[in-house]
Structure 1
Amino acid sequence: MVNRMILNETSYFGFGAINKIVDELKANNLKKVLVTTDKDLIRFGVATKVTKLLEEAKVDYEIFDELKPNPTVKNVQDGVAACKKAAADCIVAIGGGSTIDTSKAIAIIMTNPEFEDVRSLEGVANTKHKCLPIIAVTTTSGTAAEVTINYVITDEEKQRKFVCADPHDIPIVAIVDPDMSMGMPKGLCASTGMDALVHAVEGYITKGAWEMTDMMHLKAIEIIGRSLRAAVAGDPKAREEMALGQYIAGMGFSNVGLGIVHSMAHPLSAVYDIPHGKACAMMLTAVLQYNAPATGSKYREIARAMGVDGVDTMSEAEYREAAIEAIQKLADDVEIPKSLAEAGVKEEDIEFLAQSAFADVCTPGNPRDTSVEDIKMIYRSIL
């Protein structure tokens, strides 16, 4: 069996990492920047930390700030139009997964215009050219979009999300500066942090997992398990650790895929506009219960990474339950809702949700082969 690893070219970590942006623009001979972000990050002075650096260095830039939490086909098309109008030769994406995902789609279409309909990028698109250079500046600690080959777009007409996986879309530079995440409100820190944990856990148990990605995912689980509570409380050191933990998880899952936590979260976001991280966090332990019979001894190592003592003396049933309990305790401590109904999910929509989840690109990677009926059962278990 041949295992493939794709990583981004350059990453900078730590407080002050954004100061490397201008150096990287110059090193790559990039002259005109399209800054992609959202209005809140401008209003609260987060994105302006970067634009100030560009102004001081006399780097020409324009801003596209019409981004949504669950980016749509129209978002992408509007961004392409803005990029063309600006005559930009690169993108500096400032935000969480939604901003960076939108930027990947924009950048791919700029160099592969035959995909301008956006929907044809679903799955593994046969793009021919590397995307317009992206410098990705993450402001959350969850998606790891700055280091992955994946992005997710919402098709509002069909009320579905579709996943795109393309080695040509990976940012040339990732900026993981914890200062950019210090303004995250408590709820966003919790949901994006749990999303990072989902990436690590699903990446560890997916069918495509292997030794190198196992190493990454277990370390990510360890870092997130010990840091998320304090990060939600606003501790700067913990937010720095979460920035690293989510990045490590991203390096892993980007190369081996995910499972039905993500498959089931995608339609929740598409239909009810539930933020992606929150949807994933709500589904996690219910899916872990379902997947347990197909995971061998892996839950023992998850429990160990989550800080559970005495796992080596536990039976299989005990360490599986211990792993799930430790994860649920973390979710409870950071106030992730347990009930889908609380988020507006309706019983009459479960058939559509399950059909959409079953058709999702993440489903084949799930460690346990599943069915539409199984997925409906999982949804109903936490309705």
Structure 2
Amino acid sequence: MSHRIVLPRLMEIGAGASQQLAAVLGGLGCSRPLIVTDRMMVELGYAARLAEQLEQAGIASRCFADTAPEPTAASIRAGVQMVREGDFDSIVALGGGSPIDSAKAIGILGKFGGEMRDYRFPRDVSDAGLPLIAIPTTAGTGSEVTRFTIITDETSDEKMLCAGLGFMPVAALIDYELTLSLPPRITADTGIDALTHAIEAYVSRKASLYSDAQALEAMRLLAPNLRSAFHEPRNLAAREAMMLGATLAGIAFSNASVALVHGMSRPIGAFFHVPHGLSNAMLLPAVTAFSIPAAPERYADCARAMGVASEGDSVETANDKLLSELRALNKELQVPSPAQFGIARERFFELRETMAKQALASGSPGNNPRVPSEAEIIDLYETVWNQE
């Protein structure tokens, strides 16, 4: 059986990679980019630096900086209008997963029209929108190397998974120096998001030898460095390892898909506005415990790659150590429970059935080694609420 591997046409990786934007645009034959970013990137001066770099190269750009932390169909509408009314030949996405996901959607809608719900899974969006150059500023989502975007339908509070070659950036400039200003909370949430990508890609029913190699190496980079990046924000070695690990995890799950954690995570984010990486972290220990019986050897491999189990440990011992590590990691990185985050218990339990239906509809739970029923997902939401 063969596996189709999808990657950006070009990746520039390492310190200063973002300074190659003008050269990359020129190599792609693009000269009229729209920079899609958020207000934080403007305040930090990152967007202005890109615009200045482009201006010095004789490239005029405009900026759309009103993307939302959890993008919705409404939040990208003004950006789509800019593309439709402007004379842009490319999009530069600057920021974390939300600006990059927003840029992907803006590129498709701006070129082809329609509404975001028209492009949600199971539709395969294969037609290319405007060429997209992604510059991530967090070590987490891996969106710079994936063929996915997540946009919330604010009318139904559904996080819509949209997939296809049309959402794959043509280039990714992966510059870990852009993560040095990240606060500890975002470092933690995006880092656990990346670790979840790697684990789920490795245990996914769609995994291949190629995605396995990326996922295992991602875990080797992420797990030993996440705590250091959290406690020592200026630790360059840790930041570099986290950035590369997040990108490799993105490559892994873009080619093997995510699974049950992500399926259950999206509705929590949509209904309760929990940042995506944080909702993944809330779910990861409980969902992993649920899933281990269906793929114990694969999860034991994860424990060994993360450095929490040795080659001499039995499969059972390795998996016990994996669960202990996931719980310890959440505790050290101060991941709140749903209640501590401020979610009302009554509302959470009231929405469990709806969230379970949306999780299944996303398709991600079907990739899990242990495919859950709707009733089992409902029970898992209760387990996550009650866990210490």
Does the 8 Å contact 2:121/2:362 carry over to 1? no
CA shift for structure 1 position 26: 1.1
Does the 8 Å contact 2:193/2:277 carry over to 1? yes
CA shift for structure 1 position 172: 1.0
Number of the residue aligned with 1:323: 322
Does the 8 Å contact 1:62/1:86 carry over to 2? no
Does the 8 Å contact 1:91/1:107 carry over to 2? yes
Deviates more, 1:45-54 or 1:66-75: 45-54
Q: 1:268 to 1:168 in 2, by over 3 A?
A: same
- Aligned counterpart in structure 2 of residue 377 of structure 1, from 363, 376, 379: 379
Cα distance in 2, alignment partners of residues 63 and 71 from structure 1? 17
Cα distance in 2, alignment partners of residues 129 and 195 from structure 1? 28
Instruction: Give the letter aligned to residue 14 of structure 1.
Output: G
Supply the RMSD in Å over aligned alpha carbons: 1.4
Does the 8 Å contact 1:95/1:139 carry over to 2? yes
Does the 8 Å contact 1:76/1:118 carry over to 2? no
Instruction: Give the letter aligned to residue 170 of structure 1.
Output: M
CA shift for structure 1 position 126: 4.7
Q: 1:112 to 1:126 in 2, by over 3 A?
A: farther
CA shift for structure 1 position 105: 1.0
The 5 Å alignment of 1:95-110 reads 95-110=95-110
Number of the residue aligned with 2:58: 58
SS in 2 for 1:312: coil
The 5 Å alignment of 1:1-383 reads 1-113=1-113, 116-127=114-125, 129-232=127-230, 233-234=232-233, 235-314=235-314, 316-337=315-336, 339-345=337-343, 346-383=348-385
Does the 8 Å contact 1:139/1:180 carry over to 2? yes
Does the 8 Å contact 2:125/2:163 carry over to 1? no
Instruction: Give the letter aligned to residue 76 of structure 1.
Output: I
SS in 1 for 2:33: strand
Percent identity reads 33
Deviates more, 1:220-229 or 1:121-130: 121-130
SS in 2 for 1:59: coil
Instruction: Give the letter aligned to residue 250 of structure 1.
Output: G
CA shift for structure 1 position 308: 2.2
CA shift for structure 1 position 304: 0.8
Aligned length: 379
CA shift for structure 1 position 340: 1.5
CA shift for structure 1 position 97: 0.7
SS in 1 for 2:75: helix
SS in 2 for 1:88: coil
Cα distance in 1, alignment partners of residues 115 and 268 from structure 2? 24
Cα distance in 2, alignment partners of residues 277 and 195 from structure 1? 4
CA shift for structure 1 position 371: 1.1
Does the 8 Å contact 1:112/1:127 carry over to 2? no
Q: List gaps (5 residues or longer) in structure 1.
A: none
Cα distance in 2, alignment partners of residues 310 and 101 from structure 1? 38
Q: 1:332 to 1:311 in 2, by over 3 A?
A: farther
Cα distance in 2, alignment partners of residues 124 and 354 from structure 1? 18
CA shift for structure 1 position 312: 2.5
Give per-residue Cα distances to partners, 1:142-186, cap 9 Å, x unaligned. Answer: 001000001100011101101011112211110110111111111
CA shift for structure 1 position 41: 1.1
Does the 8 Å contact 2:133/2:171 carry over to 1? yes
Cα distance in 2, alignment partners of residues 264 and 313 from structure 1? 31
Cα distance in 2, alignment partners of residues 298 and 126 from structure 1? 29
Does the 8 Å contact 1:35/1:91 carry over to 2? yes
CA shift for structure 1 position 112: 2.5
Instruction: Give the letter aligned to residue 131 of structure 2.
Output: P
CA shift for structure 1 position 377: 1.2
SS in 1 for 2:182: coil
CA shift for structure 1 position 138: 0.2
CA shift for structure 1 position 128: 5.6
Instruction: Give the letter aligned to residue 196 of structure 2.
Output: V
TM-score, with structure 1 as normaliser: 0.95
Cα distance in 1, alignment partners of residues 384 and 115 from structure 2? 37
Give per-residue Cα distances to partners, 1:84-112, cap 9 Å, x unaligned. Answer: 23311100110111111111111122333
Instruction: Give the letter aligned to residue 347 of structure 1.
Output: F
Cα distance in 1, alignment partners of residues 59 and 183 from structure 2? 31
CA shift for structure 1 position 311: 4.2
Instruction: Give the letter aligned to residue 198 of structure 1.
Output: T
Does the 8 Å contact 1:135/1:174 carry over to 2? yes
Deviates more, 1:363-372 or 1:52-61: 52-61
Give per-residue Cα distances to partners, 1:189-246, cap 9 Å, x unaligned. Answer: 1000000000000000011112111111011011000111111221122111111000
SS in 1 for 2:151: strand
Does the 8 Å contact 1:200/1:217 carry over to 2? yes
Instruction: Give the letter aligned to residue 363 of structure 1.
Output: P
CA shift for structure 1 position 251: 0.8
Cα distance in 1, alignment partners of residues 151 and 221 from structure 2? 29
